[in-house]
Amino acid sequence: MTWAFASAAQAGPGKERVQDACAIRSFDRTLVLAVSDGAGSAPLSHIGATVASRTFSEQANPLVPSLVGSGGTGFWTEEDAFKWASTLVERIAEAIRAVAEQEERPIAEYAATLVGVVISPEGSLFVQVGDGIAVFRKGDQLEVAIQPEEAEFVNSTYFLTDANVQDHIQLRVIEGPLDEVALLTDGLQPLVLAGADAIPHERFFETVFRNIRSEAGEDTTASAWLASMLASDLVTSRTDDDTSIVAAVRRAD
Amino acid sequence: MESSHYEFPELEPLSEEMFLNTERRCPVVLLQDTSTSMAPHINKVNEGLQVLRHDLMADRLAAQRVEIAVITFGPVQLIQDFVTVDRWLPPRLHADGNTPLGQALRFALKQIRARKRAYREAGIPYYRPWIWLVTDGEPTDSWRDAGEEVQAEVKAGGLEMFTIGTDGADVDILRQIGAPRPPVWLRETKYREMFVWLSQSLKPVSRGTPGTALDLPPPSAWGEVQL
């Protein structure tokens, strides 16, 4: 499978430092994407977000081959998927904890969320902790991978650094190849997903996907365009939060 | 925007149509005592409401996110249902009635529940609702059950309760309703300063940094915290 992709992260208006982070890694048979939102209230969350997205992109792929085809279904079972996601989240939490211990800071200061996906020709696995959202197209329809977990108020979510993070892992297995995928953190979410059911706003996603035009690998022009979009009044007049997006488009093989 | 069209001539330009407009909401109930004894000060309250609107309007995001409902007692009346500040025309209140505090609190909770339901149905994210209670007298109805309902909601993390007393208000009752946040005793009918404080406190809340606890300034310009 050949993929073209682009990404950007932008600090909210008036903020010095972006606390969101993105990571993309392309392998022979898989594409791994992740976004992470560092908690605004946690002073070192930008580091947490960077470690989270990077660790996901590094660790997700090696864990995949052992799961493909297990359970005799030809593809990951939900149970396999959960084991995979659970191990992955544990490794991410460990990676954050290692940084916290080295710096002698409480791990809560690194609080960050995660939305990640591993895409293979046989199928894809989305995993999520806390807010943020993944949207994909497989055939005609744009679809949200994982509906946001119930958290009643805007200013509360779950983090990779929570002691009970394993209770808040959400996942979704999609069989077969995907055509387009976008991951975004919650700053952008209300601008491009409508209603309680989080229905993708097609005009947004279609424009983003159409503007990724390279044949393979990162489309740096599209990444620059995404960055200019996140920095534009169109976005900054609608949210004060950090915003970030990773988008990928599959090319004909 | 226009500039991006020139920066990226080969790409589709950005457009308004790419984005939805669903601001988060921060619902605030102004639960205002309008019993007869308030009559000498009601104009100051009315002026304060104008100040509140004016001050919030100066903050573009707060004006689109803070929603005000005005409920007066007694009798208990919904003067203004929830509306974002940018569409809010502050009412002129009149003081004429008794002080059915229990009924007023229950009504405020009911309005908040209905509003939260509406937000959920529309998919609009929201902050923890506020009730801003101002009273100048002792309740004329039984307030204990309603007070316990408020306390249950506060303890469940579903409500920010503020109690402000003046003149003949009973601080002990306000303390029980508003716990753990102590009541504030309004000094010298400084309603204007009180509403400025409310506005200044709502602005950072409506900026919505996820996970942030309320960090409010001391109300020393208009009142004394009754610890």
pLDDT, tens digit, 9 for 90 and up, residues A55-74: 999 998 877 755 555 555 56
Higher per-residue pLDDT: B215 or A173: A173
Distance CA A15, CA B89 (A): 33
Element containing residue A93 per DSSP (H, E): helix A78-103
Tokens of B21: 């407009």
Q: How many C-beta neighbours within 10 Å does residue A170 have?
A: 17
CB contact under 8 A, A240 and B211: no
Percent of chain B with pLDDT over 70: 94
Would you state the pLDDT for residue B144? Answer: 94
Name every chain B residue with its beta carbon within 8 A of the beta carbon of A191. 19-22
Mean pLDDT value of segment A76-89:
86
Distance CA B162, CA B180 (A): 10
Question: In the predicted model, what is the mean pLDDT of chain B?
Answer: 88
Mean pLDDT value of segment A218-241:
92
Distances (CA, A) of B220 to A252, B126, B133, B197, B225: 67, 29, 18, 10, 8
**pLDDT tier at B87 (50, 70, 90 boundaries)?**
confident
Here the contacts of B108-116 (C-beta below 8 Å, separation 24 or greater) are B108/B29, B108/B31, B108/B71, B109/B146, B109/B149, B109/B150, B109/B153, B109/B159, B111/B29, B111/B69, B111/B71, B111/B78, B111/B81, B111/B82, B112/B27, B112/B29, B112/B159, B115/B27, B115/B67, B115/B69, B115/B82, B116/B27
Q: How far is B151 from chain A (nearest CA, A)?
A: 18
Distance CA A192, CA B123 (A): 12
Would you state the pLDDT for residue A65? Answer: 59
With b for 16 or more beta-carbon neighbours within 10 A and e for fewer, the A79-104 pattern comes to ebbbbbbeebbebbbebbeebbeeee
Question: Taking every pair of C-alpha atoms in chain B, what is the biggest distance, in angstroms?
Answer: 71
CB contact under 8 A, B60 and A237: yes
**pLDDT tier at B5 (50, 70, 90 boundaries)?**
very low
Would you state the pLDDT for residue B1? Answer: 44
DSSP one-letter code for A38: B
Q: Which residue does chain B place closest to A159, by CA atoms?
A: B211
Residue partners of A216: CB distance under 8 A and separation at least 6: A2, A3, A4, A251
DSSP one-letter code for B127: P
**pLDDT tier at A200 (50, 70, 90 boundaries)?**
very high
Would you state the pLDDT for residue B19? Answer: 85
Residue B117 forms contact with A (CB below 8 Å): no
Residue A229 forms contact with B (CB below 8 Å): yes
Interface of B with A in 167-206 (CB under 8 A): none
Query: What's the pLDDT tens digit per position in B196-218?
Result: 999 988 888 877 653 456 778 88
Most confident of A6-10, A38-42, A123-127, B94-98: A6-10
Please say if the pLDDT value at position A224 is more than 50.
yes
Residue A39 forms contact with B (CB below 8 Å): yes
**pLDDT tier at B68 (50, 70, 90 boundaries)?**
very high
Q: How many C-beta neighbours within 10 Å does residue A69 have?
A: 13
Please name which of A148, A159, A125 lies closest in space to residue A49, comparing C-alpha atoms: A159
Nearest to A195 among B17, B23, B122 (CB): B122
Would you state the pLDDT for residue A247? Answer: 98
**pLDDT tier at B21 (50, 70, 90 boundaries)?**
low
Task: Region of A186 please: left (phi>0), alpha (psi -120 to 50) or beta.
Answer: alpha
Residue B120 forms contact with A (CB below 8 Å): yes
Q: How far is B58 from chain A (nearest CA, A)?
A: 14
Residue B220 forms contact with A (CB below 8 Å): no
Q: Which residue does chain B place closest to A198, by CA atoms?
A: B123
Percent of chain A with pLDDT over 90: 66
Provide the strand spans (E) within A42-168.
114-119, 123-129, 133-138, 141-144
Q: What is the pTM of this model?
A: 0.62
Would you state the pLDDT for residue B207? Answer: 75
Query: What's the pLDDT tens digit per position in B22-50?
Result: 678 899 999 999 999 999 999 999 999 99
Distance CA A123, CA A81 (A): 11
Distance CA A203, CA A141 (A): 13
Distance CA A147, CA A129 (A): 12
Would you state the pLDDT for residue B204? Answer: 83
Residue partners of B113: CB distance under 8 A and separation at least 6: none
Q: Where are the alpha helices (DSSP H) in B9-99?
A: 42-57, 60-65
Element containing residue A222 per DSSP (H, E): helix A220-231
Would you state the pLDDT for residue A103? Answer: 95
CB contact under 8 A, A152 and B210: no
Coil vs helix vs strand at A82: helix
**pLDDT tier at A105 (50, 70, 90 boundaries)?**
very high
Amino acid at A131: D
Residue whose tokens read 């989080």 = A198
CB contact under 8 A, B4 and A233: no
CB contact under 8 A, A196 and B10: no
Question: In the predicted model, what is the mean pLDDT of chain A?
Answer: 89
Q: Which residue does chain B place closest to A240, by CA atoms?
A: B207
Would you state the pLDDT for residue A155? Answer: 60
Q: Following CA atoms B76, B78, B84, B85 in sequence, which dihedral angle do they give, to the nearest 10 degrees?
A: -60
